[in-house]
Amino acid sequence: MNESKELIRTDTSTGKKLTFAAPRIGTSIVLGIESWALLTLYTSGFGMPPLLVGFALAMGYLTIALAQFLFGWFSDMKYTKLGRRKPYMIIFAPLLGLSIIFLLLPDFFLPNLNDTFTLFLWLLIWDIVFRASYACTTPYQAWMAELFKIEDRPKTSQYQNTFNFVGNGIMALFTLLILTKYVGSLKAAREAFLPYPTSPLTYYLPIIIFGLLVFALFYLLIFLMPTEPNYKFESKLWESLKVTVRNKNFMKIVFMVGISGFGWTMVSTGMLKYAEDALHLEDTDYIIVAVSLLLSVFVFLYIWRKLIEKKGKKPILGYVFLLGVVFLPITLLGLVPMGSFLILGIIFILGIGAILGGWFLFPYIIYADVAEDDEKSTSNLKAGTYAGFPSIILNIFQAAAVFLNGLLFELPLISNGTGDSFTLGLIIFGPIASVILLVSYFFTKKYVNLDFKWER
């Protein structure tokens, strides 16, 4: 295989940008369901202790912490006939699709869902497989710095976020309109001491389609996207780590992402359970809430992107943090008796959509830009390392966050007098996440540089 001394990027068409971005539809669907709904399905639905579910999900985060870095580094170092990045998608995309099916449909495979220990092992094993397989998105994302010029990356990232929006929209509709109904039937059967109902067609068929979609879109990308050239790469593991760690600004970005990831993970894993158990939302309520979420994310993705173009990444990221700080204590209103919590639910979802829509816009651009900045100073591209290394810190923080949610949701039950009792943890997880984001804001403001001179 011929090896060039440096990577020369060429102009890319809109078609190639769209092809590269397309897998984000599938990954957004399955990751969104796993992150947003799995805790609610296994606790509110199957009645598992939140602490056990939190532990199992935390192990998944720790697994991806290692897998994302190793996949990023291995894909940097080893060039094959299929290039550096494609082999990981070939192997792990099918496992990613399969594992989400197993996680969401345990009744298809387990004879007794009342066996808490067996159900716990099932969740633990398949969430570890799911998270390890999802790490193939690190080599995938590292491809951006190799295939696209710096001026093309925001547009490619925009397409990715558009597909993310489509995927998250599908995920939201499925979760809010279908999964919550299934969770309600599980909860009703459990409280009446009846056997759990069989998964209905409207529930299991979309899940199987989602799993197949992940596989299909990655394999379509593999066949249609050209393999990146074999550029010269001399760094070894420890050399790559040393250079990466010496990049002080990058390390500050890593810790910023980790700290804020703690808060975002608390929100994403707890928000559906809050809507289900504390706000007592029902079928028709979720239709309105789903539409509100989609509109909020769509509108604010556009607003945040335009603001980034005008004012730069760092100031706008600060606004996202501050919005989260001010908004998230709204969970305290779950203590106030209301005839209907629908209005609060709509406001809650609108705010969450605005905040997360802003945050999700940043990582794709930041890591590619840091890799480009490093390449300009070292003449050595380590896109995979820069895309994978942050996962170690980020996922450790995320593991701690989901485990903390498990602990919080084990707190004593309370009632607002308008429905079934619920855990005190659902009231206080919002203010706790708000404090975490406040720390992220001050850390970012004082220490982090996100706008480089060569971008101007």
Structural domain spans, the chain? 22-227+236-449
Task: Supply the pLDDT for residue 367.
Answer: 65
* 370 vs 308: CA distance, rounded Å: 17
pLDDT band of residue 12 (cuts 50, 70, 90) is low
Task: Supply the pLDDT for residue 39.
Answer: 95
Q: Compare 310 and 157 and report the one with higher pLDDT.
A: 310
151-160, 234-243, 286-295: which is most confident: 286-295
CA end-to-end distance (rounded Å), the chain: 37
Residue 211's Cβ-side half-sphere holds a number of Cα atoms within 13 Å equal to 17
Beta bridge partners of 80: 83
Q: CATH classification of 22-227+236-449 is 3.40.50.720, yes or no?
A: no
* 85 vs 108: CA distance, rounded Å: 34
The residue-averaged pLDDT of 146-153 equals: 69
pLDDT band of residue 161 (cuts 50, 70, 90) is confident
Task: Supply the pLDDT for residue 305.
Answer: 79
Task: Supply the pLDDT for residue 442.
Answer: 93
Find where tokens 């707890």 sit: 270
Residue 184 three-state SS: helix
Kindly report, residue by residue over 420-453, the tens digit of the pLDDT. Answer: 789 999 999 999 999 999 999 999 888 887 766 6
- CA torsion through residues 238, 244, 247, 253, sign: negative
For residue 239, how many other CB atoms are within 10 A of its CB? 12
| Contact of 405 with 39, CB cutoff 8 Å | yes
Taking CA 345 as the corner, what is the angle to CA 191 and CA 106, rounded to the nearest 5 degrees? Answer: 40
Containing 413, the helix (H) or strand (E) segment is: strand 413-414
Containing 414, the helix (H) or strand (E) segment is: strand 413-414
Task: Supply the pLDDT for residue 192.
Answer: 86
The residue-averaged pLDDT of 300-314 equals: 82
The residue-averaged pLDDT of 281-287 equals: 85
Task: Supply the pLDDT for residue 157.
Answer: 75
Kindly report, residue by residue over 201-258, the tens digit of the pLDDT. Answer: 999 999 999 999 999 999 988 888 777 777 665 555 566 666 667 777 778 888 888 8
Task: Supply the pLDDT for residue 231.
Answer: 65
CA 230 to chain centre: 31
